[in-house]
Structure 1
Amino acid sequence: MQLATLSLLLFGICAAPQTGQQDALSTLAPLGEKPAATLITEDHDPRLVQVKFVHDSGVRLRQGRFVGTGDDLEAINGTLDGLGVTRKRLFQQSESWLENWRLQGEARSGIALHDLNLFFLVELPEDGLVGSVCDWLNTFDMVELSWPVGRVEDPNVIPVHLQSNFSTLLPSPDFQNLQGYREAAPLGVDGDWGNLFSGGRGIGTVIADVETGWTDDHEDIAHKALGNYVGLPMTYYPWDHGTAVFGELIGEDNGEGVLGLVYEADVLMSTHQGNSNNIPTAIAHAANAVGVGDAVVLEVQCYHGPPSPHPCEYDAGIFATVQTATANGTHVFAAAGNGDNDLDSGAYGGAFDRSVRDSGAVMVGASNGSSLDKAGFSNYGSRCDAHGWGYDVTTAGYGYLYSGGTVQTEYTDSFSGTSSATPIVTGAGLILNAVHREAFGSPMDPFVLRDLLTNTGTPQGAGGNIGPRPDVRLALERLQVPKVIIAGNLVPGGSGTATIYGPSGDTFHMMYSKTLAATPAYMPPYGYLYLSTPLDRHEIDVLPASGQFTYNFNIPNNGGLSGTTIGYVQGAVLFNTLPGTGTFTNYYPIEVQ
């Protein structure tokens, strides 16, 4: 059957995406209590103070001074002028853009969001004044909170490195057999299964990574990453950490190196330049560059007064920015950090208590490699939503597994920390979101996707709560995404069954082709047809009350077929009850044993 004919048979209209808009906004999330005295540690910048004025105060910065209607502004400006203090806006985005972003997020989500134009940086002329200036600013009623600036680093754990097993082989070997995190649960997240579904390779999804740096011309990520910087100027190149993160996500499908969980997704890079006070701006740049249903990844851990390191959203400005991003429909995946700290501890003042405040981000803990037990270093607590492998992750960069002689050809089998865990959870989540978009016509809301990951994952083992390990197959079942399954005695002379599953009463198509298409055909609103055309067989029927329909087939009695794939099956279902119009199913190879 030709594509044009198949398109006519499947033709329909996409359902409009739903939003979470409400009639009245929620209460603003608290940013933290003013302390009796600001604790200063060696992790704090000796000359930087942050300040956020109360909501609706309208304070702005003009010609280096705070302006507005507050009675305290004259006293604040006078004292700061006397100290020789420089005042700056925390964000580099324009006031109008930040305001529109906030209002759009409130309209979409019904969540009251902080005015990001009320956050400022105060640069002091000498060391030793940070604590006293914070305490002084916190005495004013129009100041919601003033606090010191902490530091940021990549959330990786440095393993004991063995000498590379390969050094000069060209082209790079295929390391996919070492990527256990791609495999079926409970070992992995079942990315291999998710990649078989329409959209499941991540096509049409944009991921913006916020961290220190990347080697964007590495051979396994350059096809997606090369030159795709947004926001602040890049200062860290080459840089292994971001390279390793991207290897897990978008490692190229070329039989060399590693295979990313969503290898057809597009990526962007937004650096914080090694400064934690740049993280809010970097997140805003990232969120501005992606669309609704796309993702921002926070590969950072921060250090402040409480037990450190911890998730960076402990910082008021970072929390408010992440909350605005998720309210606008952007999925945010954040590393929980590597301090073995209990995020439910009172030392954090409820910053990670969802009954107090909730940024909407997916907070990612780390397991002891392929084990489901908590890694000894991983932060933990009720705020952790899901976990990934925290040890022994094979990906691009570093060169501990394979060098190839250049930074563009290095690979590791020991990427670790919540650094390695976060892209695993991100990849699983974005597979689900992309399949949902193709199947039902719209991306998932960030809170809905987060709940799905948590409620369908493989439960963790021993240790404090790091959340379950995502299970893409089970999550797709929960979403009721139609599928096809091949089973039977698949040997020469044997027989098999091809079963399609979907809502009872819906019309379905079952298709067979001897080969896959070199380039899948996009046929909206149904998604991607992976089979080559013309099809070798095409059946149309209606799903019975059981919600499944089975076809029987025989395998020729030819010993030469052992170890070969004799064809592929893919279905399509036209919805009567589910959202959207219909969808292609996964494709499934008929592999003769």
Structure 2
Amino acid sequence: MKSELIIKLKESSNIVPTDPENFSSAPVLTPFTKLIIEENISIHPLVPKMDVEFLESSEAPRDTNQTVLSGYYLVDAPEDRLEVLVSKLNDQEVIEAAYLKPLAQLASVPAPPETTASSPDLSLRQGYLDVSPNGIDARFAWTIPGGTGSGVNIIDIEGAWRFNHEDLNQNQGGVISGQESSDLGWRNHGTAVIGEFSGDINSYGVTGICSEANVRAISIFGNNSSSGAIVQAANFLQPGDIILIELHRPGPRYQYENRPDQAGFIPIEWWPDDFDAIQYASSRGIIVVEAGGNGSENLDDSLYDQRPTNFPSNWTNPFNRSNRDSGTIIVGAGAPPPGTHGRDHGPARSRLSFSNYGTVMDAQGWGREVTTTGYGDIQGGTDENKWYTDSFSGTSSASPIVVGALGCVQGVLRAHNLNVLTPIMARSWLRETGTIQQEGPNSSVSQRIGNLPDLKQLIAKALAH
């Protein structure tokens, strides 16, 4: 697992990068091909060929577009050579841009001390399922045909999952691309995310917000890239389906430093190839939900109007949608009701101090005290398939709540043979409905993270549209 070195070739280059040994036999070596041979680096398209056999056996669109992100390539080289290669590649005539993307991180935050509380049925600890204003009123959605997400497909993009968890046995499609990380942190994280909206309907553990939706996953590891994973996910899905991006990266505030406190971390659409990939997915009618990041950043700051040196010359600030708009839904982290699990993080729906904020933020979810699968702090033991937590956190815990709400709404619309929400409609409705953000002791409502979804309002609007 390392940083991503991305290059974008000029359209006039007429070069198809490949492994160095394939260049060495070329009749004429250009400066670019000489560099590849001398440095012994490999260069791969950001979007690999799709698994044709899988596509033919699925409902994925047959017009899978491999031209999106054309010109973008991932450079495979040792981590300690990446910084030097950025400079050398930018000196090449055929290169429009070469830039280094810090390793994508999980948008969760350290958990508070463990609690001793545990129960075979943990659904009553899932306060985010409750009626508004404290929750999203998921239990109301379940009384409406389609309100459990049936007919909806969701793909989660991050690094690893525990799909054989005892509470994730139904409606799971597993990992369909990339190589899962063996790191327990990545695996716990992915398991917790999936549990929020896909926990099985049974008498134990948790219950997912839209548990009847089909859930699959794509890993950013194993010669994959975050942008390539997004394009692959879009090509596996139909209009109205959902992609969840559970990642953030160090931003320019601290010179892209990978800080343990995550200060300065920002949404991944800051990087040109990720933005283009998200925009591609949105253009296909796929709803993309993106963790807003835990960097405590004001995304309206003028810092983000400054084009990084190595970015393409036509790049503009993606956090200002008057410049350009990827079509994504960006989620902030709000406080749960005081007293949840015996803890107090400030007034309900107030911005948690770590959450990024700004006009680009569309909606919020609980950023603390989320009960779900994984981690094992309220039910642990030697069997990881029975682990549960009630302290999942960050914009990582907030984003799946928004995904779950949208899964319920899209399920209702499909069950009633109505047109599903488009990405722009979904974003607009989340902004127009829901329970409003509150002032916090150290945060103002002017530090926007958006409203908490209210499924009673959303479904009423959906059935009337």
Question: Shorter-chain TM-score category?
Answer: 0.7 to 0.9
Q: Report what 2:72 is aligned to.
A: 119
Q: Report what 1:311 is aligned to.
A: 267
Shifted more, 328-337 versus 139-148: the winner is 139-148
How far apart in 1 are the matches of 2:35 and 2:429? 51
Q: Report what 1:451 is aligned to.
A: 428
CA offset at residue 294 of structure 1?
1.2
Aligned: 1:249 with 2:191: no
Structure 2: gaps of 5 or more residues:
24-28, 54-59, 255-263, 306-316, 338-347
Q: Report what 2:280 is aligned to.
A: 324
The equivalent position to 1:156 in structure 2, one of 108, 120, 127, is 108
SS at match of 2:174: coil
Q: Report what 1:581 is aligned to.
A: none
Q: Report what 2:329 is aligned to.
A: 362
1:211/1:270 contact within 8 Å kept = yes
Aligned: 1:389 with 2:366: yes
CA offset at residue 179 of structure 1?
1.4
1:50/1:149 contact within 8 Å kept = yes
Residue by residue over 1:334-370, the C-alpha shift from the partner in whole angstroms, topping out at 9 and shown as x without a partner, is: 1111111112223333131111222111111000223
Q: Report what 1:466 is aligned to.
A: 449
CA offset at residue 96 of structure 1?
11
How far apart in 1 are the matches of 2:82 and 2:136? 49
SS at match of 1:60: coil
Q: Report what 1:379 is aligned to.
A: 356
Q: Report what 1:187 is aligned to.
A: 134
SS at match of 1:147: strand
Letter aligned with residue 287 of structure 2: H
2:295/2:355 contact within 8 Å kept = yes
Q: Report what 1:259 is aligned to.
A: 207
- Number of aligned residue pairs: give it: 416
Q: Report what 1:294 is aligned to.
A: 241
Letter aligned with residue 466 of structure 1: I
Structure having the larger proportion of residues in strand = 1
Residue by residue over 1:432-464, the C-alpha shift from the partner in whole angstroms, topping out at 9 and shown as x without a partner, is: 122123334332111111111111122211331
SS at match of 1:230: strand
How far apart in 2 are the matches of 1:244 and 1:444? 26
Q: CA 1:137–1:344 in structure 2 vs 1: closer, same or farther (change >3 Å)?
A: farther
Residues 7-156 of structure 1 aligned to structure 2 (within 5 Å): 45=3, 49-54=5-10, 59-61=15-17, 64=20, 74-93=30-49, 115-124=68-77, 127=80, 130=83, 133-138=85-90, 143-156=95-108
CA offset at residue 416 of structure 1?
0.7
Letter aligned with residue 218 of structure 1: H
2:61/2:235 contact within 8 Å kept = no
How far apart in 2 are the matches of 1:187 and 1:378? 19
Q: Report what 1:409 is aligned to.
A: 386
Q: Report what 1:236 is aligned to.
A: 182
The equivalent position to 1:281 in structure 2, one of 220, 224, 228, is 228
Structure having the larger proportion of residues in helix = 2
SS at match of 1:151: coil
Aligned: 1:418 with 2:395: yes
How far apart in 2 are the matches of 1:414 and 1:129? 37
1:152/1:274 contact within 8 Å kept = no
Larger relative CO (CA 8 A, sep 6+): 1 or 2? 2
How far apart in 2 are the matches of 1:433 and 1:62? 42
Q: TM-score, normalised by structure 1?
A: 0.64
Aligned: 1:434 with 2:411: yes
CA offset at residue 82 of structure 1?
3.9
Residues 319-358 of structure 1 aligned to structure 2 (within 5 Å): 319-349=275-305, 350-358=317-325
SS at match of 1:116: coil
How far apart in 2 are the matches of 1:285 and 1:332? 13
Q: Report what 2:154 is aligned to.
A: 207
1:102/1:115 contact within 8 Å kept = no
Letter aligned with residue 188 of structure 2: D
How far apart in 2 are the matches of 1:218 and 1:404? 13
CA offset at residue 195 of structure 1?
1.6
1:360/1:447 contact within 8 Å kept = yes
Shifted more, 207-216 versus 433-442: the winner is 433-442
2:413/2:463 contact within 8 Å kept = no
Q: CA 1:77–1:223 in structure 2 vs 1: closer, same or farther (change >3 Å)?
A: same
How far apart in 2 are the matches of 1:348 and 1:388? 25
How far apart in 1 are the matches of 2:463 and 2:50? 43
2:180/2:221 contact within 8 Å kept = yes
CA offset at residue 66 of structure 1?
11
1:322/1:361 contact within 8 Å kept = yes
Q: CA 1:197–1:404 in structure 2 vs 1: closer, same or farther (change >3 Å)?
A: farther
Q: CA 1:63–1:133 in structure 2 vs 1: closer, same or farther (change >3 Å)?
A: closer
Structure 1: gaps of 5 or more residues:
1-42, 68-72, 107-112, 167-171, 482-577, 579-593
Q: CA 1:451–1:105 in structure 2 vs 1: closer, same or farther (change >3 Å)?
A: farther
How far apart in 2 are the matches of 1:306 and 1:314? 13
How far apart in 2 are the matches of 1:209 and 1:471? 23
How far apart in 1 are the matches of 2:249 and 2:11? 26
Residue by residue over 1:4-28, the C-alpha shift from the partner in whole angstroms, topping out at 9 and shown as x without a partner, is: xxxxxxxxxxxxxxxxxxxxxxxxx
Shifted more, 175-184 versus 435-444: the winner is 435-444
How far apart in 2 are the matches of 1:182 and 1:309? 29
1:314/1:351 contact within 8 Å kept = yes
